[in-house]
Structure 1
Amino acid sequence: MKFKVSALSVLFFTGAFAQNIQNNPGSNHGNRFEQLGTILPTPNVYRTASGAPGQAYWQNRADYDITAYLDEDKRNLKGSETITYHNNSPDDLDYIWLQLDENQQSTVKKADYPFSSTLPKSLNDQQLKVSELPVKDNGYGVNLEKVTDASGNPLKYTVNKTMMRIDLPKVLKKGEKFIFKIDWNYNIPNRIKMGGRGGYENFAEDGNDLYTITQWFPRMCVYSDFQGWQNHQFTGRGEFALVFGNYKVSMNVPADHVIGGTGECKNYEQVLTSEQLARYKKAQTSNEPVEIVTLEEAKKAEKNHSKQRKTWVFEAKDVRDFAWTASRKFVWDAMGVTIPENNNKVMAMSFYPKEAYGLYRKYSTKAVAHTIKTYSEFTIPYPYPVAQSVEASNGMEYPMICFNFGRTEKDGTYSEGVKNGMIGVIIHEVGHNFFPMIINSDERQWSWMDEGLNTFTEYLTEEKWDNKFPSKRGPAWTIVDYMKLPKDQLEPIMSNSENIIQFGPNAYAKPATGLNILRETIMGRELFDKAFKTYSKRWAFKHPEPADFFRTMEDASGEDLDWFWRGWFYGTDPVDIAIDKVTVANPDFEVANFSNDTKYKVEKPLQNEFEDISKIRNREDKTISFEVEKDKDLQDFYYRYDRGQEKVDTNKEYTLKSEPNVALDKKEQEKLKNINAYQIDFVNKGGLVMPIILEFTFEDGSKLRDKSSAQIWRHNEKKVSKTFYFDKKLKSVQLDPMRETADIDTSNNFWSNDGGSSETSRFQVFKEKQKAAVRGGANGKVNPMQAAGKKN
């Protein structure tokens, strides 16, 4: 969802609080590269250590048969639904939970997660109202008319704000299903005035409404292996945790309304004119959008306001939700799309009022087609038969249908910002078909698994739409302003949706940026893309959790990324790596023939300095015999030396002779004379480790690039140095030249030989002597046996 709203570091993995534990908090190492360990939940038969679903993985299911009646005059929606709930869990269930999201619009039934408020400097007359205490019922929210089992027997239920518990007449065991019915109605809110995702928008100029019917029916909560019932209240922000199922939905609306909804319409022959039906069939094989309901027909319908009614019937398989839209204002166009990866034939469609015609007719359906094809390349092939974009002056997503913005000025013109914003929101909301409509994460708890993963893939899709597309989220440099904020205004990505202050940057931009950094800078495109596709394939039509994503990305790529998850997802530290100093060293070929003779004293007996209790007791235990006592051949010089039977003067100094260094000849000096050494010292000011990426510019104008992986910081997370040898003089060094790491302060990323902090020194170059390397051999010192003149 493209919402400007916002969440804290409360981590619910298995119902317990997890912390970003540091094994060595008082040191400069051993923290940032430590494995996540117990921060992640323990793998089990349901979710494996590899990040894949386990052999005993299960999920429950709910199938819906719904009839709805839209009363346009009263702006009321009346519904009746039959739910078939399948218990595939190993648990016995004696009650079930449903969501009543529409209660959030009620003044007395809502979840009541208030915000702090202060005196405003100005407000309009509509906002200036006397505080009513106690708060009066505004008439919105779900009105439950009847809750029964399949035979019509009443069921006991309890409504807790936006959640509804139904007590089952008998325990629902594994493999069993429960069928029940709910009749309900609610007053449809004015979405423009009251906010929220669903409702109506009124067009005063022609007296018509545009309806977006969302979160509109009592829906089953998720019961899972990792949490039990996900029955956290709906506050308007944290989105949805839902189960998959099959839907049959019948919508009775005014006869001149056009309907778009989740799934396929099964009775176009009854609800469309013969001309419109012919256009629909033509659109199925067209490479260009075909108007099924034309602009002229939409304008004509705006004026008539039919009192007749029609029923539209839709069906959808393996979806987690159902949404629909209705208005007589709609222009409707469509075109056929084939997904190459699975040869799936999809109808890409758009619905929009005349106010958006100048933009939507040209771009919307083609953006829908581009999105499902591009996401299919990076995740899984799009499996559904329909993908739809509806212009409704907002941004929100549901299976196979989404609501977006993008209207022209009254004269038909539009700004570039509106055009790009419209394309971006269409890509984003259509992309939500993949995250979380198919790869079905728990949005109520982890917004980033929905919005972050989708925003990242949106960025990849925008880039393939237009190489100059002004993407606002994804590139590393775009997150810098957020990362600069004081710590008390930040929270980790791994935070509950309700507790985030800066929701857009935290749930959308920072995770999207992190994934892009992984793809472009840390893992590389090939490794990342394969791992990302593996995650998408593993968890399509299932319920993944954060650990499943983290583990799969590592398992499928062979990259240890715990340091990245720990820093980017569990922490709030920014990237600020600085060039602290550059030391320039020139070669010195004047090697004196000095001797490296060294004086040593021989080693004292290598006995433990303290007789521990085990040694004492072993000596006292007469049942123990020691091998060196039993076999006299094992008693050498050092056996006697350790026991004082061999005497060596350990205070005497012995001189160990070595050959002098040898200078290079003139030819060798000439070959190496232009080599200069550069030691670059880096400091980690921000705290978050990242690869060190350098661009060297030389005095002759040439350039070189170098990248050290983030693991260069593993032994010292605060300071590291790197030395380079070049056969030409260095003019400047630029750290992170392409702004790949979201470094918040680029002023300390540059050094030049005419102004940067530097020191100069010389290093001695001499001729290398070949030496044999012998493991465990002589240590270059006089040993006691040599000093004593003994060989045994």
Structure 2
Amino acid sequence: MKKLLICTSLLAGLSISSRAQNIQNNPGSNHGNKFEQLGTILPTPNSYRTASGAPGNAYWQQRADYEIRCTLDEQQTKITGIETVTYYNNSPDALSYLWLQLDENQHSNINNANYQSGSTLPADGQVDLRTLEKMGEPLTDNGFGVKISQVTDASGQKLAYTVNKTMMRIELKQFLKPGEKIIFNVGWSYKIADRMRQGGRGGYEYFEGDGNYLFTITQWYPRLCVYSDFQGWQNHQFAGRGEFALVFGNFNVQMTVPADHVVGATGECQNYSQVLDATQYARWQKAQSSKEPLEIVTLAEAQKAEVKKAGNTKTWIFKAENVRDFAWTSSRKYVWDAMPTVIEGKKIMCMSFYGKEAYGLYRRYSTKVIAHTLQSYSKFTIPYPYPVAQSVEAANGMEYPMICFNYGRTEKDGTYSEATKNGMIGVIIHEVGHNFFPMIVNSDERQWTWMDEGLNTFCQYLTETLFDNQFPSRRGPAWAIVDYMKLPKDELEPIMTNSENINQFGPNAYAKPATGLNILRETIMGRELFDYAFKEYARRWAFRHPTPADFFRTMEDASGEDLDWFWRGWFYGTDVCDIALDSVKAFQIDAHAVPQPLAKAEAGGLRQLDRPLLPGFDDISAIRNRADTSIHFLTDRDTSLRDFYWRYGRNQEPYNTRFTYTTASITPTEQLDEAARKKFHGQYLYELVFTNKGGLVMPVIIEWNFADGTKQVEKIPAQIWRQNEQHFGKTFLHAKEVKSIRIDPFRETADIDESNNSWPQVAAMGKFKAFKAKQATRGQSEGPNPMQYPAGKK
């Protein structure tokens, strides 16, 4: 028997594979499949959801209003609360019970969803025995999870209820009929989890250095599940990954916390004048018109509070209207800054909360990035409707209405790596952007992760490109998804896969849908058509519950483009783009000669190519943004955002290559008249033959490089494949001699093999393997940090 090395490294394994749904109409043919309509794959339109993708004249959705009072016990790390819920039945159905979500049961070893994954012994012999020691033994309650103390109706009479893992069913004494409402009360408590060790989206982080806590209170109260026309109750268990389906309503929440804590929450605080001291309240009032982020609670005040801890409590009161959820944060460690931004005449307060560990990054960037995000998303979707948007540094990345939790901490000396800075800016944009998807356009995250993460990642990409034209976006550009698309077919799954069943979660739910939308915008539809249709989707489904069919249909309805082929291939399938330029025949026209056989091929010479138009991450969107005189990048308008790395990364390396070419000549088979002879004599014909090796139909983009040093880019729409989805040939006429041809020159289509994209053939560029340092805390400064080693120093 082999000896096993015992250590405390945590194992995480996932071995799930799924196969694409066979949605071909004519699988035995080389055509008639990929361009057919989705038909019955999409749900049948009805009076609730129309064939155009808009809400129907009978559309309805439920509503739930909450009055919540709670207490945070810092010493016991515990929350105790009671809520009064008013639930409105706007459906045409009589309801005999209600379903509520108890997300904190995720941390219970008794009532969690118990979705398990397989595991094997690792080859290096390292295993965490903590995860195995209690398997097979009777479970002993670990004390975590929601403890229900009461469920009563408005008169105080008990209501029967059943807890099933992360869900609770409340049984009504009589049917709740259409148009009626019910008022009920739920009392509960739970032990707050250490999210840095136990995981989860909410909990606390303990700082041993100063003995303080940072609480992120999320998914913390019993929340109504969605009851909808397309699914009924969405009561799928919360297993940790697939997020939420929630009901819109109004919130009035009172939070009693230690008196020296600073609280940020969904909505607007109703009693700042009572919970802030006079100086801080005066700063808050001044911040309402500040042009720069103004500290309401300063760094010095936060550091003083860390040492001198209060023994009494204060109650903060927040209200929020027409939101689907409520989250909050509380800590004495917080610096708090704020400034307004104005969108279509409406002032929105942008605010950030962060400890001293993040001060060097958050003080400079966070609140300004919030404002930039709201401005950008409002341009591409709808004007931001809420009065507040907040970013909280919590070594995290999670979103809720008007508040989100992000990462970004510096070294102890205040410096930071470029990776940390860019990651922080990206995660703030992403999590603030979630206010639009799914907090406002309220899709079902538990069923279709891509409808919030994918659409939001796409808008994040647009926002990053407007922050800085050289921002290194990881998701959105087509070339960035290629490594994922190259994986073996049994490691891929359709975007339409259920959240809990996705193997490659980040690429599939975030990057691939974001990339697909970017391809639609830049390569297939064009910006004008796409932007109009995308805004229409956001407008139609703001504060409603859309499904994928509503999105697909709206994009087609508002643009006049038949995109079923694209949804079929990119969202429902696992085919990839690999378009090969198989052969090129080149001929020069001799318009004066009598028809004769083809001349022999003439040997060509050598020519040096110009360097590529794009640096490593300089994709088609960045190029077009630079050419658009109406676009002014934030780092150009606000030079205070230009830090060490903005200056450090502006140099580019030249690139050259060499190749050979051949030409031949062709004579027309019919004598031309004098005008035609003058026009066509000496021009060139090129016959190109293409193969669809990857199976995914996409446009074919050709870059012609001429002998005189000029270039021309030509795009053939994807419909060129409609009569033969595997091959096609096409002939082109050019007045100038072509010296080389390159397919997909701007890497717009996520082609997984560029080695077959050139004529004459050019070797694919090699890859340099880069690694970053392992991080202990999410968002802690990581990777190379040249800020610590200025030029000339070692």
TM-score by length of 2: 0.83
- Name the counterpart of 2:8: none
Tell me how far apart the structure 1 counterparts of residues 675 and 45 of structure 2 sit (CA, whole Å). Answer: 64
Matched, 1:738 2:740: no
Matched, 1:699 2:707: yes
Matched, 1:209 2:213: yes
Tell me how far apart the structure 1 counterparts of residues 95 and 298 of structure 2 sit (CA, whole Å). Answer: 51
Deviation at 1:752, TM superposition (A): 2.4
Q: Counterpart of 1:190 in structure 2: which amino acid?
A: D
Pairs within 5 Å for 1:355-754: 355-587=357-589, 590-591=593-594, 663-664=671-672, 669=677, 671-752=679-760
Q: Against the structure 1 CA distance between its residues 185 and 416, is the aligned structure 2 distance closer, same or farther, given a 3 Å change threshold? A: same
SS of equivalent to 1:112 = coil
Pairs within 5 Å for 1:251-290: 251-290=255-294
Tell me how far apart the structure 1 counterparts of residues 182 and 113 of structure 2 sit (CA, whole Å). Answer: 28
Tell me how far apart the structure 1 counterparts of residues 135 and 581 of structure 2 sit (CA, whole Å). Answer: 58
Q: Against the structure 1 CA distance between its residues 304 and 6, is the aligned structure 2 distance closer, same or farther, given a 3 Å change threshold? A: farther
Pairs within 5 Å for 1:53-452: 53-120=55-122, 121-123=125-127, 129=133, 131=135, 133-340=137-344, 343-452=345-454
Deviation at 1:676, TM superposition (A): 2.1
Tell me how far apart the structure 2 counterparts of residues 126 and 285 of structure 1 sit (CA, whole Å). Answer: 54
SS of equivalent to 2:559 = coil
Deviation at 1:591, TM superposition (A): 4.2
Structure 1: give runs of 5+ residues left out of the alignment: 12-18, 594-660, 757-792
Are 2:14 and 2:117, in contact at CA under 8 Å, matched by a contact in 1?
A: no
Map Cα deviations across residues 594-613 of structure 1 (whole Å, 9 max, x no partner): xxxxxxxxxxxxxxxxxxxx
Tell me how far apart the structure 2 counterparts of residues 236 and 662 of structure 1 sit (CA, whole Å). Answer: 72
Q: Against the structure 1 CA distance between its residues 331 and 281, is the aligned structure 2 distance closer, same or farther, given a 3 Å change threshold? A: same
Deviation at 1:584, TM superposition (A): 2.2
Identical-residue share of aligned pairs (%): 68
Q: Counterpart of 1:576 in structure 2: which amino acid?
A: D
Tell me how far apart the structure 1 counterparts of residues 502 and 183 of structure 2 sit (CA, whole Å). Answer: 38
Are 2:430 and 2:457, in contact at CA under 8 Å, matched by a contact in 1?
A: yes
**Runs of 4+, deviation exceeding 2 Å:** 4-11, 123-132, 584-593, 661-673, 752-756
Q: Counterpart of 2:731 in structure 1: which amino acid?
A: T
C-alpha RMSD of the superposition: 2.1
SS of equivalent to 2:126 = coil
Tell me how far apart the structure 2 counterparts of residues 753 and 140 of structure 1 sit (CA, whole Å). Answer: 62
Tell me how far apart the structure 1 counterparts of residues 406 and 207 of structure 2 sit (CA, whole Å). Answer: 17
Are 2:18 and 2:490, in contact at CA under 8 Å, matched by a contact in 1?
A: no
Deviation at 1:117, TM superposition (A): 1.1
Larger radius of gyration: 1
Moved more, 389-398 or 745-754: 745-754
Moved more, 253-262 or 723-732: 723-732
Tell me how far apart the structure 2 counterparts of residues 664 and 146 of structure 1 sit (CA, whole Å). Answer: 94
Tell me how far apart the structure 2 counterparts of residues 70 and 592 of structure 1 sit (CA, whole Å). Answer: 93
Deviation at 1:562, TM superposition (A): 0.3
Are 1:10 and 1:495, in contact at CA under 8 Å, matched by a contact in 2?
A: no
SS of equivalent to 1:85 = strand
Deviation at 1:125, TM superposition (A): 7.7
Q: Counterpart of 1:285 in structure 2: which amino acid?
A: S
SS of equivalent to 1:338 = strand
Q: Counterpart of 1:252 in structure 2: which amino acid?
A: T
Deviation at 1:667, TM superposition (A): 7.5
Tell me how far apart the structure 2 counterparts of residues 78 and 464 of structure 1 sit (CA, whole Å). Answer: 44
Deviation at 1:122, TM superposition (A): 1.8
Number of positions where the alignment pairs a residue of Structure 1 with one of Structure 2: 678
Map Cα deviations across residues 450-477 of structure 1 (whole Å, 9 max, x no partner): 0000000000000111111000000000
Q: Against the structure 1 CA distance between its residues 664 and 569, is the aligned structure 2 distance closer, same or farther, given a 3 Å change threshold? A: closer
Are 1:5 and 1:504, in contact at CA under 8 Å, matched by a contact in 2?
A: no
Q: Counterpart of 2:712 in structure 1: which amino acid?
A: L
- Name the counterpart of 2:652: none
Tell me how far apart the structure 1 counterparts of residues 76 and 19 of structure 2 sit (CA, whole Å). Answer: 43
Are 2:14 and 2:118, in contact at CA under 8 Å, matched by a contact in 1?
A: no
Deviation at 1:509, TM superposition (A): 0.1
Deviation at 1:586, TM superposition (A): 3.9
Are 1:49 and 1:551, in contact at CA under 8 Å, matched by a contact in 2?
A: yes
Q: Against the structure 1 CA distance between its residues 10 and 277, is the aligned structure 2 distance closer, same or farther, given a 3 Å change threshold? A: farther
Tell me how far apart the structure 1 counterparts of residues 330 and 216 of structure 2 sit (CA, whole Å). Answer: 7
Map Cα deviations across residues 144-163 of structure 1 (whole Å, 9 max, x no partner): 00111011100011111000
Tell me how far apart the structure 2 counterparts of residues 525 and 9 of structure 1 sit (CA, whole Å). Answer: 34
Tell me how far apart the structure 2 counterparts of residues 40 and 426 of structure 1 sit (CA, whole Å). Answer: 35
Deviation at 1:672, TM superposition (A): 2.8
Deviation at 1:20, TM superposition (A): 4.5
Q: Against the structure 1 CA distance between its residues 123 and 205, is the aligned structure 2 distance closer, same or farther, given a 3 Å change threshold? A: farther
Tell me how far apart the structure 2 counterparts of residues 287 and 196 of structure 1 sit (CA, whole Å). Answer: 37
Tell me how far apart the structure 1 counterparts of residues 490 and 379 of structure 2 sit (CA, whole Å). Answer: 40
Deviation at 1:556, TM superposition (A): 0.3
Are 2:461 and 2:476, in contact at CA under 8 Å, matched by a contact in 1?
A: yes
Tell me how far apart the structure 2 counterparts of residues 165 and 662 of structure 1 sit (CA, whole Å). Answer: 83
Deviation at 1:700, TM superposition (A): 1.9
Are 1:6 and 1:500, in contact at CA under 8 Å, matched by a contact in 2?
A: no
Tell me how far apart the structure 2 counterparts of residues 252 and 148 of structure 1 sit (CA, whole Å). Answer: 23
Q: Against the structure 1 CA distance between its residues 667 and 199, is the aligned structure 2 distance closer, same or farther, given a 3 Å change threshold? A: closer
Q: Against the structure 1 CA distance between its residues 698 and 269, is the aligned structure 2 distance closer, same or farther, given a 3 Å change threshold? A: same
Map Cα deviations across residues 352-403 of structure 1 (whole Å, 9 max, x no partner): 0111111101100001111111100000000001000000001000000000
Are 2:15 and 2:118, in contact at CA under 8 Å, matched by a contact in 1?
A: no
Tell me how far apart the structure 2 counterparts of residues 72 and 202 of structure 1 sit (CA, whole Å). Answer: 11
Deviation at 1:726, TM superposition (A): 1.7
Q: Against the structure 1 CA distance between its residues 9 and 449, is the aligned structure 2 distance closer, same or farther, given a 3 Å change threshold? A: farther
Map Cα deviations across residues 657-701 of structure 1 (whole Å, 9 max, x no partner): xxxx96346785454320221110000000000001001112222
Q: Against the structure 1 CA distance between its residues 592 and 49, is the aligned structure 2 distance closer, same or farther, given a 3 Å change threshold? A: closer
Tell me how far apart the structure 1 counterparts of residues 539 and 134 of structure 2 sit (CA, whole Å). Answer: 55
Tell me how far apart the structure 2 counterparts of residues 512 and 567 of structure 1 sit (CA, whole Å). Answer: 15
Deviation at 1:133, TM superposition (A): 1.3
Structure 2: give runs of 5+ residues left out of the alignment: 1-12, 597-668, 765-794
Deviation at 1:536, TM superposition (A): 0.2
